[in-house]
């Protein structure tokens, strides 16, 4: 059942990893959450972790404008408004592929998911937040430490995460008149399926392969919740949460 007093969130990429952890954190905190992801089964598995909570699962390809519109339409029809978008859906693309060998289709897939998808979801959230009463809401974009320092052979992922920083800044500025707060969380080495290889060995800038420390993904989720629960008069514009001893400060 919907808790009429709860805040309403849309979480993309909610079927696994960071998206699942954030969705569960918000659901346990009493938020009502629209779970978005490509496949229905992982979304159902996420929802089953908090069975008593108010949720809506909407299979969504964020690179398709019609899917994104359907997601936000369903969220508003079910819950009445949107208070938060956690813009999380993303992909690294094929790992270990040098620039000269990266297929254009692979580049396009990463750009369509990480950047175009983030724009489409932010645009849809912005429209609802501007129109609803009371007006306003918050968008949190899932960035990466790659927005500051790339890994080897990560040209598509890194380019999109740099672009996401520009998207965050522009949306933050444009949202001011409408009480729409926009921030970005840059994440480094959260323990998910996507980062599992780092614990056994990741390519470093000097050409060596070395294991890297990771952090509990629940620490990311708690950080997102903190950002989400600030009053709209306050905003975490940019934050970085990462495994303390990962090779980021001094990478290279």
Q: Assess contact for 211 and 199: CB atoms under 8 A.
A: yes
Q: List, in order, residues 6 or more apart from 226 with CB less than 8 Å away.
A: 236
Structure tokens at 72: 């936000």
Pairing of strands 209-210, 137-142: unpaired
Q: What is residue 99's three-state secondary structure?
A: helix
Q: Is position 157 annotated as part of the catalytic site? A: yes
Q: Other CB atoms closer than 10 Å to residue 120's CB: what's the count?
A: 23
Query: Is the torsion defined by CA of 45, 50, 52, 56 positive or negative?
Result: negative
Q: Which of 126, 157, 178, 248 is catalytic?
A: 157
Positions marked active-site: 157
């Amino acid at each position: 059942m919907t808790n009429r007093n709860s805040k309403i969130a849309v979480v993309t990429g909610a079927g696994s990893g960071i998206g699942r952890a954030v969705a569960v954190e918000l659901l346990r905190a009493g938020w009502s959450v629209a779970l978005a992801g490509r496949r229905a089964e992982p979304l159902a598995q996420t929802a089953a972790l908090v069975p008593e909570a108010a949720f809506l699962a909407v299979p969504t390809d964020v690179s398709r404008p019609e899917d994104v519109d359907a997601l936000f339409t369903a969220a508003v029809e079910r819950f009445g408004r949107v208070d938060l978008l956690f813009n999380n859906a993303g992909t690294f693309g094929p790992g270990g592929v040098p620039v000269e060998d990266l297929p254009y289709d692979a580049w396009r897939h990463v750009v369509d998911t990480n950047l175009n998808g983030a724009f489409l979801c932010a645009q849809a959230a912005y429209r609802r937040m501007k129109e609803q009463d009371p007006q306003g809401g918050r968008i949190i974009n899932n960035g990466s430490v790659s927005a500051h320092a790339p890994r080897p052979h990560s040209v598509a992922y890194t380019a999109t995460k740099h672009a996401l920083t520009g998207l965050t800044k522009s949306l933050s500025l444009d949202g001011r008149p409408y009480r729409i707060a926009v921030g970005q969380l840059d994440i480094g080495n959260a323990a998910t399926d996507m980062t599992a290889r780092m614990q056994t060995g990741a390519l470093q800038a000097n050409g060596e392969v070395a294991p890297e420390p990771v952090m509990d993904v629940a620490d990311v989720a708690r950080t997102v919740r903190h950002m989400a629960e600030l009053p709209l008069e306050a905003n975490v514009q940019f934050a970085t949460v990462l495994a303390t001893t990962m090779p980021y400060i001094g990478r290279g």
